[in-house]
Amino acid sequence: MAAESNFVDYVKIYCRSGKGGRGSTHFRREKYIPKGGPDGGDGGRGGHIFLRGNRNYWTLLHLRYDRHIMATNGRGGSAKRSTGANGEDRVIEVPCGTAVYDAETGEFITDITEHGQQVMLLEGGKGGHGNTFFKTATNQAPRYAQPGMPAQERMVIMQLKMLADVGLVGFPNAGKSTLLSVLTAAKPKIANYPFTTLEPNLGIVAYRDKRSFVMADIPGIIEGASAGKGLGLRFLRHIERNALLLFMIPADTDNIAREYEILSRELVQYNEELAEKRKVLAITKCDLIDEELQEMLREELPTGLPIIFISAVAQQGLDELKDTLWKELSKESLHEPDSIVRQSLDLSSLTWDDEDDLFPAPIRDEDEEEYDDLDFDLEIEYDDDADAPTQL
């Protein structure tokens, strides 16, 4: 991830819930009540760790500099059957489309796809019972209580996978950003050199009868991207959720069919399930050729998918393109786009900065020690011949 870029689409963070507070072994002590009995309260629960979708975020940049998310511990129980305070919960705000994986195994944990959706990532420890809980007819003075349940901790990887209906796939300078700027209100960077687009862009395409769909433009792919050439396959995670892939190849390409095969092969090498997605092929920059050349090109084009000739600059064929995309999006498909997202993560495909700074130093359990100093939990032994309890 480039340091100067504000677009961060994956991050590794350390999360820890709060431990439960311990129960109290306090005994009731009041004047003229020598044998008050146990009145220790239960401990409070530890704080939970939640994930919550927020449509106002579009990147994980805010988590890049806040990598230690820790809830507070529950407080211990006290006298008069008082239950300790619960630990404070922590809520991690993430952009919609964020998937969460275990950093040790790559196992899929959960994903957030809607604004306001909240998922518990780590549960806080339950508070322990005080000695009042253990009082019975045959054990009227229990001198023990439960400790709180321990906290849960986990290293997780969060990946942003943009929510879009149509993903643009093509080599650099295929006209993807130009098409996005013409069909939507997005303003991606456009220039006449390769890899102008260095981060994904989203735009909403307006269609008839106030209908619309979302289009995603990702950086260009080159042959050998699966082996790390160019920008590699890092940004292909943003088309995993797409229901439709729009392949874009310029009309002045020497061999359109071969370029389509290369793009398809690179996608399959990234993830085989991408081959099951519906596809449309757009031949771009058609203002450079006449209708006779278009007919000649049709004989050499791949078969089995819709093919549209367009020119974003001259705005040729754009209505036909939108009609075709909407028709394909409306078709029933047996392929579930989110099935790719729920697969285990290949940890070797990610690189990290400042790896050693991710693990927090051991934190002193201040809550536990604070309650020890209050001298609440004294063990009491009763002597039948004495008027008052004897302190051990």
- Does 175 appear as a known binding residue? yes
Strand order from edge to edge, sheet including 49-53? 90-94, 49-53, 118-122
Distance in angstroms (rounded) separating the CA atoms of residues 25 and 52:
38
- Does 213 appear as a known binding residue? no
**CB contact set of 90 (below 8 Å; sequence gap of 6+):** 47, 48, 49, 50, 69, 70, 71
Q: Which residue has the tokens 């590699």?
A: 232
Q: Which residue has the tokens 């939970």?
A: 48
- Does 196 appear as a known binding residue? yes
By CB atoms closer than 10 A (0-12, 13-18, 19+), residue 165 is buried
- Does 218 appear as a known binding residue? yes
- Does 92 appear as a known binding residue? no
- Does 348 appear as a known binding residue? no
Q: What is the C-alpha R_g of the chain?
A: 31
Distance in angstroms (rounded) separating the CA atoms of residues 282 and 290:
16
Distance in angstroms (rounded) separating the CA atoms of residues 82 and 41:
5
By CB atoms closer than 10 A (0-12, 13-18, 19+), residue 26 is buried
- Does 252 appear as a known binding residue? no
**CB contact set of 283 (below 8 Å; sequence gap of 6+):** 249, 250, 251, 256, 294, 297, 301, 307, 308, 309, 310
- Does 3 appear as a known binding residue? no
- Does 12 appear as a known binding residue? no
Q: Under the phi-then-psi rule, with left for phi > 0, alpha for psi from -120 to 50, and beta for the rest, what region is 106?
A: left
136 and 31 Cβ atoms separated by less than 8 Å: no
- Does 171 appear as a known binding residue? yes
- Does 220 appear as a known binding residue? yes
- Does 25 appear as a known binding residue? no
- Does 239 appear as a known binding residue? no
Partners of 220 in the β-ladder? none
- Does 198 appear as a known binding residue? yes
- Does 286 appear as a known binding residue? yes
Q: Tally the C-alpha atoms within 13 A of residue 120's C-alpha that lie toward its C-beta.
A: 9
Binding-site members for GTP are 170-177, 195-199, 217-220, 284-287, 311-313
Binding-site members for Mg(2+) are 177, 197
Binding-site members are 170-177, 195-199, 217-220, 284-287, 311-313
